Amino acid sequence: MSKVIVVTSGKGGVGKTTSSAAIGAGLAMRGHKTVVIDFDVGLRNLDMIMGCERRVVFDFINVIQGDAKLKQALIKDRRLENLHVLPTSQTRDKDALTTEGVKKVLDELREEFDYIVCDSPAGIERGAHLAMYYADEAVVVTNPEVSSVRDSDRVLGLLNSKTALAEKGDGSAVKAQLLLTRFDQNRSANGEMMSVEDVLEILAIPLLGIIPESTSVLKASNEGTPVSLDEKSPAGKAYMDAVGRLVGEQIEMRVNPGEQRRGFFQRLLGRTA
Amino acid sequence: MQSGKSAAQTVATVKPLQIRGRTFTAIALHLTGRPDRTFFEALEARLNQTPLFFDNAPLVIDLEQAAGLDSAQELMHLTAELRRRKLSVFGIQSGTPAQARAAAEAGLISLPGGRDAALERVSRQGSRPVPAAPPAPKEPANLMINQPVRSGQTVFADRGDLIVVGSVSSGAEVIAAGNIHIYGRLRGRALAGVNGDTSARIFCHALDAELLAIAGLYRTSENLGADTPRQYVQVHLQGEVLRIESLK
């Protein structure tokens, strides 16, 4: 039974594409056959984050318009056997997306893949709407700051009303979970950033994971490597934990996974530094 | 739960209908006999004195002095003739029961009463408003929402109280004709008594509202003041003042 997961946020720049790539790669590493689709028509980024931008021949829009077959547009990842990317068009805009076209492509992908990760564009217009419309689950990417939280709240309202599941009217709903990204423990403790509890109190959805602010994220993006492949970085580990929870495992929530408990002297030094 | 879209549409129209008493000015045409040729000549002469003055004026035919005029056919003919002269006939007054039946057949309403219509009082007497059907007793229709009201959503209880079991987010709007109860934190906008009910109240567990309004009187978060109670509060109107009180 395949699952369509939309990665969405409302606000731009919070880490949707990074998270889509990391979650897609994480699912593939766990042995699930996964495809990541870029819904940000006209502002194509996913292919770069996933390091396959030089292999794009056909794209999502070509498939929707019948100019290419799905098999021709899908790009197989070179590092992970189970990972595929469906890039989007840089020259077209969101109007090229149609409800029927998206449904047709997703139905075809459902036959072959275990997980279909839809990387939503920012905003709540056509592109974002169609990215979430056929979703079974949603990963709502939020930064710990007020405007991001409010936009995520808006998106949660849309997930409850403007999706195929919600429109069925039989009480079914898209299962939404929160992915808190760019989280900085120290700044949150100082009150410069919202705390995890504050965000959860407002959004009132289950927490999928906390991704610490990390230099490794930008580095991975520039290299075109999903950050979850970087097993040494705290962000990569946090994404792998989140992926584990996404597939239903019970994993303890850690703000900085992998950070060793510092020894007595280190703590002393850390304090004086 | 109402979806954002349908709720927004309800808000736009506010209410499918309203019933209000209304007084109209109409002119009364006193007949003193049968509407024969003489009558129409006299009418033409009168209308020509002040052309346009009576154009499309609502008009009642007073039959007090025309007891013999009781056939629907005659009334229909008269109505047609008057309408041809741009007089908007809609009823009769001071008619006998037989005339009332004839009027009904002719598609006219029969107004009760037979008071003398002094010319200078035309505007006050004229046609009294058709007694409106008593408004159907309103069934209270309270609306219960069992999930958080998200930013950008509008929930509208147009005929009763609104109960939200959960929080109302910043950027969300909860509106009710009656009271609003929020078992959670109110961060958005709450408008109670929107149809003018000044006795409506807003209750919430925690107050962090962008805007509070009762029967159109509102306060925004900016002028709530630092000493406003924030936990377990009720908001109500005291005269023209929106008061926020702790329930503790």
Chain B nearest-CA residue for A204: B148
| Inter-chain CB proximity A150 and B153 less than 8 Å | no
Q: How far is Cα B18 from Cα A117, in angstroms, rounded to an integer?
A: 50
Half-sphere exposure of B11 (CA within 13 A, CB side): 16
Chain A nearest-CA residue for B166: A204
Can you give the pLDDT at residue B27?
Answer: 80
Can you give the pLDDT at residue B23?
Answer: 67
| Inter-chain CB proximity A153 and B150 less than 8 Å | yes
CA distance to partner chain B, nearest, from residue A232 (Å): 38
| Three-state secondary structure readout of A66-130 | CCCCHHHHCEECCCCCCEEEECCCCCCCHHHCCHHHHHHHHHHHHHHCCEEEEECCCCCCHHHHH
Q: How many percent of chain B have pLDDT more than 70?
A: 81
Domains B27-111 and B143-246 share a fold: no
What is the enclosing helix (H) or strand (E) of A141? Answer: strand A137-142
Q: How far is Cα B75 from Cα B66, in angstroms, rounded to an integer?
A: 12
Identify all chain A residues contacting B5, using CB atoms and an 8 Å cutoff.
Answer: 161-162
| Inter-chain CB proximity A160 and B147 less than 8 Å | yes
Task: Calculate mean pLDDT across residues B131-158.
Answer: 82
DSSP H helical ranges for A113-233:
126-133, 146-161, 164-167, 185-190, 196-203, 215-223
Task: Calculate mean pLDDT across residues B55-80.
Answer: 82
Can you give the pLDDT at residue A273?
Answer: 39
Task: Calculate mean pLDDT across residues A66-89.
Answer: 96
> Which of A52-66, A246-260, B123-137, B195-209 is the least confident region?
B123-137
Interface of B with A in 158-187 (CB under 8 A): 166-167, 169-172, 185, 187
Can you give the pLDDT at residue A145?
Answer: 95
CA distance to partner chain B, nearest, from residue A156 (Å): 7
Confidence of residue B100 (pLDDT cuts 50, 70, 90): confident
Identify all chain A residues contacting B185, using CB atoms and an 8 Å cutoff.
Answer: 201
Q: Tens digits of per-residue pLDDT, B105-132?
A: 888 888 765 454 444 444 444 445 555 5
Residue B177 has pLDDT above 80, yes or no: yes
Q: How far is Cα A176 from Cα B65, in angstroms, rounded to an integer?
A: 79
> Which of A118-122, A265-269, B173-177 is the least confident region?
A265-269
* Class of the domain covering B143-246: mainly beta
Q: Tens digits of per-residue pLDDT, B24-55?
A: 677 888 887 778 888 888 888 888 877 777 77
Buried b (16+ CB within 10 A) or exposed e, B168-179: bbbbbbbbbbbb
Task: Calculate mean pLDDT across residues A19-48.
Answer: 96
Could you tell me whether strands B202-207 and B217-220 are parallel, antiparallel, or unpaired per DSSP bridges?
unpaired
Q: How far is Cα B9 from Cα B244, in angstroms, rounded to an integer?
A: 30
pLDDT higher at B34 or A139:
A139
pLDDT higher at B101 or A107:
A107
Cβ-contact A29, A35 below 8 angstroms: no
| Inter-chain CB proximity B171 and A166 less than 8 Å | no
Q: Does B3 touch chain A (CB under 8 A)?
A: yes
pLDDT higher at B79 or B7:
B79
pTM recorded for the entire structure: 0.67
Q: Count the Cβ atoms, other than its own, within 10 Å of residue B189.
A: 21
Q: How far is Cα A150 from Cα B179, in angstroms, rounded to an integer?
A: 26
Q: How far is Cα B211 from Cα B234, in angstroms, rounded to an integer?
A: 14
Contact residues for A161 (Cβ-Cβ < 8 A; gap 6+): B3, B4, B5, B153
Task: Calculate mean pLDDT across residues A70-90.
Answer: 96
CA angle, residues A134, A140, A145, in degrees to nearest 5? 150
Confidence of residue A169 (pLDDT cuts 50, 70, 90): confident
Contact residues for A80 (Cβ-Cβ < 8 A; gap 6+): A25, A28, A29, A229
Q: How far is Cα A138 from Cα A117, in angstroms, rounded to an integer?
A: 9
Residue B76 has pLDDT above 50, yes or no: yes
Can you give the pLDDT at residue A73?
Answer: 96
Rg (CA), chain B: 28
Q: How far is Cα A101 from Cα A75, in angstroms, rounded to an integer?
A: 19
Can you give the pLDDT at residue B80?
Answer: 86
* Class of the domain covering B27-111: alpha beta
Can you give the pLDDT at residue B133?
Answer: 59
- Pick the closest to residue B230 from B205, B193, B200, B194 (CA basis): B205
Can you give the pLDDT at residue B125?
Answer: 44
Confidence of residue B6 (pLDDT cuts 50, 70, 90): very low
| Mean per-residue pLDDT of chain A | 92
Would you list the domain boundaries of chain B? 27-111, 143-246
pLDDT higher at B122 or A215:
A215
Confidence of residue A96 (pLDDT cuts 50, 70, 90): very high
Q: Count the Cβ atoms, other than its own, within 10 Å of residue B226.
A: 4
Above 0.95 for ipTM, yes or no? no
Q: Tens digits of per-residue pLDDT, B227-241?
A: 899 999 999 999 999
